[in-house]
């Protein structure tokens, strides 16, 4: 079946450090892939997405590339800020059958000044 695995947190970084949050997936067909961010007490917001292999999604300095050969969609940012502290979720949408989304368990990021 479809699944998403992302690295366990929490991840603690100093401001301006490089960020990588790993995400791998298992899916049939050609899913779309997403990264969402959740700030404390709020709903999830779409951070970026990619709909086909080799697509790169980017937003607010964050990037992720849809790698079909490694079934991965790792999130990266070159220089994190304190305001990036949040929980990050990797997700996929299936392209057949039901209109369901599969989410990873979330990775909490804490950035220290």
Partner 1 sequence: SQTIHQWPATLVQPVGSPLSLECTVEGTSNPNLYWYRQAAGRGLQLLFYSVGIGQISSEVPQNLSASRPQDRQFILSSKKLLLSDSGFYLCAFSRGFDEQFFGPGTRLTVL
In the DSSP assignment, the letter for residue 52 is S
**Pattern of binders to partner 1 over 16-55, x per CB under 8 A?**
----------------x-x-x----xxxxxx--x------
Backbone angles phi, psi at 57, to 5 degrees: -95, 145
Beta carbon nearer to partner 1, 29 or 113: 29
CA nearest 21: which of 4, 7, 1? 7
CA 82/CA 19 separation, integer angstroms: 12
In the DSSP assignment, the letter for residue 78 is S
19, 25, 89, 111: residue in contact with partner 1 (rule CB under 8 A): 89
1, 69, 100, 113: residue in contact with partner 1 (rule CB under 8 A): 100
- Residues interacting with partner 1, by CB under 8 A? 32, 34, 36, 41-46, 49, 89, 91, 93-95, 98-101, 103-106, 108
């Amino acid at each position: 079946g479809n699944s998403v695995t992302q690295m366990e947190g929490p991840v603690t970084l100093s401001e301006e450090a490089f960020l990588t949050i790993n995400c791998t997936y298992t899916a049939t067909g050609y899913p779309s892939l997403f990264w969402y961010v959740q700030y404390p007490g709020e709903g999830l917001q779409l951070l970026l997405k990619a709909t086909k292999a080799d697509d790169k999604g980017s937003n607010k300095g964050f990037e992720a590339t849809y790698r079909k050969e490694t079934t991965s969609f790792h999130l990266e940012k070159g220089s994190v800020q304190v305001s990036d502290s949040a929980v990050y979720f990797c997700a996929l949408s299936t392209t057949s059958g039901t209109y369901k989304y599969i989410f990873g368990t979330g990775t909490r990021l804490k950035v220290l000044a």
